[in-house]
Amino acid sequence: MGMSHVVDRRLNGKNKSAVNRNRFLRRYRKHIKKAVSEAVHNRSITDMEQGEQVSIPSEDIHEPVFHHGAGGNREMVHPGNKEFVTGDRLPKPDGGSGGGSGEGQASDQGEGMDEFVFQITQEEFLDFLFDDLELPFLVRKKLKSADSYQYVHAGFTTDGTPAKLNVVRSLRKAYARRISLAGKRKRRIRELEDRIAALEAQPDSEDPAFSKERQIEDFQAELDELRRQVKRIPWIDEIDLRYRQHRREPKPSTSAVMFCLMDVSGSMTQVHKDIAKRFFILLYLFLQKNYKRIEVVFIRHHTAAKEVDEEEFFYSRETGGTIVSSALKLMHRIIEERYPSDDWNIYAAQASDGDNWNDDSPICRRLLEEKILPMVQYYSYVEITPHEHQALWEEYETVQANFPDRFAMQQLSDASEIYPVFRKLFEPKTA
Amino acid sequence: MTQPISSGSDWSFELIEEYDREIARIAADFGLDTYPNQIEVISAEQMMDAYSSVGMPVGYHHWSFGKQFMATQKGYRRGQMGLAYEIVINSNPCIAYLMEENTMMMQALVIAHASYGHNSFFKNNYLFRSWTDASSIIDYLMFARNYVAECEERYGVEEVEAILDSCHALMNQGVDRYKRPAPISAEEERRRQKEREEYRQEQVNDLWRTIPDMGGDDDPESQKRRFPAEPQENLLYFIEKNAPLLETWQRELVRIVRKIAQYFYPQRQTQVMNEGWASFWHYTIVHRMYEEGLVDDGFMLEFLQNHTAVIYQPPFDSPYYSGLNPYTLGFNIYMDLKRMCENPTEEDQAWFPDIAGSDWQQTLDFAMRNFKDESFILQYLSPKVIRDLKLFAIADEEGDDAYEIKAIHDDRGYRRVREKLARQYNLSYKDPNIQVWNVNTRGDRSLLLRHTRVDGIPMADDDTQEVLRHVHRLWGFDVVLESVDNGEVKERYRMPPEGGSHNNAA
């Protein structure tokens, strides 16, 4: 019999299943993309911080093997008989065809309703979302990575690296400990010293049992012991040490406001709006990486514009014509009232199917060129339509020619074409 | 009286070693013969990893293991499921995993159960001795993992995954039940794999040479000659050797899955015996420790609570019932064997004259070594255990509108219950009996499989069609499965389905 060998394996190979998990995610990409897409539909554009629950029909991940089906003759043994006696007959629940108490029944059927449910992480969620948007690798990395973090002071802890030792606090703790441990003894020491001094000043007693010398000796012994004890109290002890603690926080410049403008006239379908939503999400994710505080303003318009909440923005429908300039005017007013451009970095994303009153499009151009663009960091426009462009597009093309740095536009027929609009944003900034 | 080794629930490496020392001494006292032990302490996360690679300490990568992992993880996080106490690997040294969350009592229980119970079973049961080679399995799994990874790099993950999917579907049909393969080491395996690469393709080509043989092939005898000459039960082996279109690396993958299926085959056939044996020994060893004063009352109380939970058998009408608990059945049989040896009754004298009053250690040792579940139950299930578990046999016959109770725990019923229960553990009764019947070597190269029905039990339609899809992927030409009852074809499955195209090569 050999000796047993006991090994601590806890520290190695923690994520052994990560590869297999990724294989699984890869294989069921389609299902997961669908779930992500539904999640995007149901979530707020500012709520991209969590993973998502995905469910796949068990049937789709079923691994088939050869096994028996219902039918034939079986005789099975079970435990826990209560009142059965040999020869008892028990009617079959479904009247006798097929069925059976046979084993394997449970796994036989495809079990249509069963779902395999699992959780994907936020990172995986974004991965699938970006995949959908066909974002280049570098951009994905930028949106997900935590490189724009800074460390901020977050109190003190009792352990840390020597480099983070806070001397003042540690010494203060040590001092407090020394006082609490030594205080009583020191008081007694002072008392003893006084007594000895007093005794020495007195004349010696007659009785040898109370001789001055012996009393001083006794006091001196106690005094020495106390001094030894006090000396043994460490000047600084490990429990006194205090270290600075830091927490990682995003390192944003300051505040940004994001305007979402969308045409909600009858011609914009839910599909259009869902594409638009992805477009807004992407802008939001970008801003989140770069600003500490982000406010989002939703402006929807048909012939008139209105500031609304997100729910109403994406999911209520209107009919009627379209006057885009109404939204631009409203945006301009809101900026002037609430977001002075000295304090706010202003971004805007506009989505529309390109419909506009012809007379209105030149007005839009002028509004943008004269009033809005001078105040904003970046203005992006997507036109979600498979059709010919109309006047608005042409006017906007002029705007783009005049403001190539802060105005971008793109025609989309599905979400994967979004990226070019943002290309400017993700370009490395050269000072 | 001795001092207890420890009190309280905290464990340390020193304590584990100390408990192990005492358990080893007691196990040796009882005559347990084991491989050296390697006891590894792991975290719950790692236990889930171990779970999902079906107990292989080193596994190749595959999505199905990822699925298993995610299911385990979900169940564990939601608290729906505790993790098993232990996983133990049939290897030399015998590797057992202990979870760090366990109490000291649990660690000791697991050591007794896995490192001495299962370990001695692996080392001595005849099926394990003849079908697995404990000293080479880790090496082989390493070889397999590296080989699969290499193929993925060369041929792409999806290509490799497709072949592995198909092989996994046939894993239960990838076993030689009667021949014993010679165990070989990984190094030897690598060397042979190179050789195989060179020769195997030639042999396959030989079988499929397309130039007609000029010399008198009109001979009707040779036309009728069947291939294979005898029906073959190991589908994976047959495919590995004979599939016309597989590339060499694909054949090697088939072989890897087949080897692993073979390695796990004895475990499938000895669940009751193996779990029963390990439970019997954790129970017996811990009681001895208590008698010696090595563990205290608190330890014992916690131990008994856990032991009772492990061997709990819900009755058939309980919502928790999911078949016979192999721990319960096995534990009860071994305990009853010991009882018959020590305190035989008249009934025992009549039923088990050779066992009643014999030396219990020898009797149990013999039972552990020389049986598999089916024969073990047939040999040793006593009337007392049948009564204790209140076993009954119930028949479900086609065309009958009622189930019938055929036997219960009484004099008339013991033998029938025993016989029927034993048969339930016969794998060839549990798994459909499917054999390679014939290959059309001269015509369309189609592969004919035959399912021989037992008691008229048919195949499950959906999955059969799905599995045939996999067989077809490996074989490369049409595949037909005939389900036969008493020589009469009852059902015929085709891939591609009737009317589909031929020569739909991969």
Nearest-Cα residue of chain A relative to residue B389: A79
**Contacts of B187-190 spanning 24+ positions with Cβ under 8 A:** B187/B139, B189/B139, B189/B140, B189/B143, B190/B143
Give residue B167's Cα distance to chain centre: 17
Angstrom CA distances, A417 to A130, A258, A287, stand at: 11, 21, 20
SS3 B399: coil
Nearest-Cα residue of chain B relative to residue A53: B74
Angstrom CA distances, A25 to A29, A38, B65, B163, B482, stand at: 6, 17, 12, 19, 37
**pLDDT computed for residue A369 by the predictor:** 93
Interface test with B, best of A23, A68, A77, A114 (most B CBs within 10 A): A77
Alpha helices in A62-145 (DSSP H): 105-108, 122-133, 137-144
Per-residue pLDDT band at A430 (split at 50, 70, 90): very low
Q: Does the beta carbon of A107 lie under 8 angstroms from any beta carbon of chain B?
A: no
Give the burial string for A74-87 (b: 16+ CB within 10 Å, else e): bbbbbbebeebeee
**Summary mean pLDDT of chain A:** 82
- What is the percentage of chain A residues whose pLDDT exceeds 70? 87
- The dihedral over CA atoms of B174, B177, B179, B180, expressed in degrees to the nearest 10, equals 80
Question: Which of the pair, A341 or B447, is modelled with greater confidence?
Answer: B447
Which whole number is the average pLDDT over A83-109? Answer: 63
**pLDDT computed for residue A390 by the predictor:** 83
Reply yes or no on whether the pLDDT at A161 is more than 70: yes
**pLDDT computed for residue A51 by the predictor:** 84
Could A69 and B459 be called an inter-chain contact, meaning their C-beta atoms sit closer than 8 Å? Answer: yes
Could B37 and A4 be called an inter-chain contact, meaning their C-beta atoms sit closer than 8 Å? Answer: yes
Q: Of how many residues is chain B composed?
A: 506
Radius of gyration of chain A (CA): 39
Nearest to A77 among B172, B393, B412 (CB): B393
Could A64 and B466 be called an inter-chain contact, meaning their C-beta atoms sit closer than 8 Å? Answer: yes
pTM of the model: 0.75
- Which is nearest to A20 in space by CA: B265, B73, B41, B471? B73
Per-residue pLDDT of A167-198, as tens digits, reads 888 889 888 888 888 888 888 889 988 888 88
Interface test with A, best of B153, B171, B457 (most A CBs within 10 A): B457
Could B404 and A88 be called an inter-chain contact, meaning their C-beta atoms sit closer than 8 Å? Answer: yes
SS3 B495: strand
Contact residues on chain A for B410, CB-CB shorter than 8 A: 86
Contact, B258 vs B236, CB < 8 A? yes
Stretch among A67-71, A81-85, A102-106 having the lowest mean pLDDT: A102-106
Contact residues on chain B for A76, CB-CB shorter than 8 A: 393-394, 396, 420, 424
Interface test with A, best of B70, B91, B98, B268 (most A CBs within 10 A): B70
Alpha helices in A202-263 (DSSP H): 212-232
Sort A403 into a burial class: Cβ within 10 Å, 0-12 / 13-18 / 19+. Answer: middle
SS3 B355: coil
> Mind telling me how many Å the CA of A50 is from chain B's nearest CA?
17
Nearest to A66 among B394, B420, B459 (CB): B459
> How far is the first Cα of chain A from the last one, in angstroms, to the nearest whole number?
73
Cis amide leading into B93 (omega within 30): yes
Residues of chain B with pLDDT under 70: 1, 54-55, 77-85, 178-187, 196-224, 499-506
Q: Regarding beta strands A344-352 and A255-263, do their DSSP bridges make them parallel or antiparallel, or are they unpaired?
A: parallel
Could B34 and A24 be called an inter-chain contact, meaning their C-beta atoms sit closer than 8 Å? Answer: no
**pLDDT computed for residue B215 by the predictor:** 46
Nearest to A65 among B36, B169, B390 (CB): B169
**pLDDT computed for residue B123 by the predictor:** 96
Contact residues on chain B for A75, CB-CB shorter than 8 A: 393-396, 406, 420
Q: Does the beta carbon of A247 lie under 8 angstroms from any beta carbon of chain B?
A: no
**pLDDT computed for residue A102 by the predictor:** 40
- Contacting residues for A74 by C-beta, under 8 A, at least 6 apart: A100, A101, A102, B395, B396, B397, B455, B457
Nearest-Cα residue of chain B relative to residue A26: B63
> Mind telling me how many Å the CA of A29 is from chain B's nearest CA?
12
Nearest to B401 among A68, A91, A116 (CB): A91
Nearest-Cα residue of chain B relative to residue A21: B66
Reply yes or no on whether the pLDDT at A111 is more than 60: no
Nearest-Cα residue of chain A relative to residue B409: A81
Could A9 and B460 be called an inter-chain contact, meaning their C-beta atoms sit closer than 8 Å? Answer: no
Contact residues on chain A for B321, CB-CB shorter than 8 A: 78, 80
Contact residues on chain A for B409, CB-CB shorter than 8 A: 81
Contact residues on chain B for A21, CB-CB shorter than 8 A: 66, 69-70
**pLDDT computed for residue B505 by the predictor:** 39
Q: How many CB pairs under 8 A join A and B?
A: 276
SS3 A241: coil
> Mind telling me how many Å the CA of A76 is from chain B's nearest CA?
5
Contact residues on chain B for A3, CB-CB shorter than 8 A: 24, 36
**pLDDT computed for residue B217 by the predictor:** 47
Reply yes or no on whether the pLDDT at A15 is more than 70: yes
Contact residues on chain A for B35, CB-CB shorter than 8 A: 2
- Tokens standing for residue A211: 């001789």
Interface test with A, best of B322, B403, B431, B449 (most A CBs within 10 A): B403
Between CA B423 and CA A135 the distance in angstroms is 60
Nearest-Cα residue of chain B relative to residue A108: B460
Between CA A38 and CA A60 the distance in angstroms is 19
Q: Which amino acid is at B245?
A: L
Could A10 and B42 be called an inter-chain contact, meaning their C-beta atoms sit closer than 8 Å? Answer: yes
Q: Does the beta carbon of A22 lie under 8 angstroms from any beta carbon of chain B?
A: yes
Q: Does the beta carbon of A77 lie under 8 angstroms from any beta carbon of chain B?
A: yes
> Mind telling me how many Å the CA of A15 is from chain B's nearest CA?
8
Which helix H or strand E contains B448, and what residues bound it?
strand B447-452
**pLDDT computed for residue B48 by the predictor:** 83
Could B71 and A116 be called an inter-chain contact, meaning their C-beta atoms sit closer than 8 Å? Answer: yes
Nearest to B393 among A68, A75, A103 (CB): A75
Contact residues on chain B for A14, CB-CB shorter than 8 A: 43, 45-46
Nearest to B41 among A10, A21, A79 (CB): A10
